[in-house]
Amino acid sequence: MRGRVAVSTMLTRYERQRLDAVGLGLYEPLHRDSIHEVMRDVRERSVATVVVSVSRCGTEEARWVGHMMRERPRLRAVAVLTEVDRRAPHAVLSLGQCGLRHLIDARQPDGWQMLRNALLGDDPDDVQRVAMATLAVDLAPECASPPGLPPGNSSRAGSSEAWHFFETLFSVPPCVRTVAELTRVLQVAQTTFMSRFYRLGLPRPKQYLAMARLTRAARLFEDSSMSVARVAYCLEYSSPQSFGRHLRSTLRLTPTEFRKAYDSDGMLQLFRQRLVLPYLERFRRFPPLPRRLTGVPEARA
């Protein structure tokens, strides 16, 4: 089925039905009964995405998942959890030890939606890694260091706060579309948050959020099979037309022009040139923000 992402799976009957329902027309599921059949898809059909059920993974299956990931470093492997029995903790631990880093808890209200987005290519972790590696160089020159290194002087501490802001900005799920939703993730009052930018003479937070979302959009567009409608769907715009309006208001480009003009690296450079590099000294005085664990923050209560 041309134009659709092929996904090889090893799932329970229930999980197959749910996966088919949330991705109808968006990807081509190849449901298999064993991990060896999944491996055959990866090797012979060049399938780049696999989904395995925690309920169907023992130590042996986890070992073969790890083997596939080592053999194909760009392989996207996702585990889905729909029920917890006495074997589930051991299965999750085994998969993690074998190198699998994407676990979707489909018992959560937005679990299947998160899985759908992962299968369609929306990988915030990939965008976040590149963005934070690049911004580390910008923020580090005289004073800053990534979290984990002890702070030295006040400017170093300020850069650490800026790092926390950018890390959150590039790691939040697509449902975080407004500054109000972003401040809930950061656990800070919206008025307090916006006043910090105003006092330092920084661009409005809305501009940072908009450009970060478009960096993720550019990453999705790198896949030639991704249509404008599918990108809008993955990033949870209300419609392709809404996505188009966002592009026109932010960059004065149509989706087609945007796709031709920018890949994710190009958008990240534009993000830096417009919103980071001119304001480095001000970010080094960025006020403290509440701290929370990063990864996949919850955007809504």
Angstrom CA distances, 73 to 105, 159, 185, stand at: 24, 33, 32
Residues of the chain scoring pLDDT < 70? 1-4, 120-126, 140-159, 290-301
pLDDT of residue 112: 87
Domains of the chain: 5-119 (3.40.50.2300), 124-283 (no CATH)
Q: What is the C-alpha separation between 19 and 27, in angstroms, rounded?
A: 10
pLDDT in tens, 206-243: 999 999 999 999 988 887 778 899 899 888 899 999 99
pLDDT (0 to 100) of residue 157: 43
| Res 121: pLDDT | 58
pLDDT in tens, 162-201: 888 998 898 888 889 999 999 998 889 999 999 999 999 9
| pLDDT at 125 (0 to 100) | 54
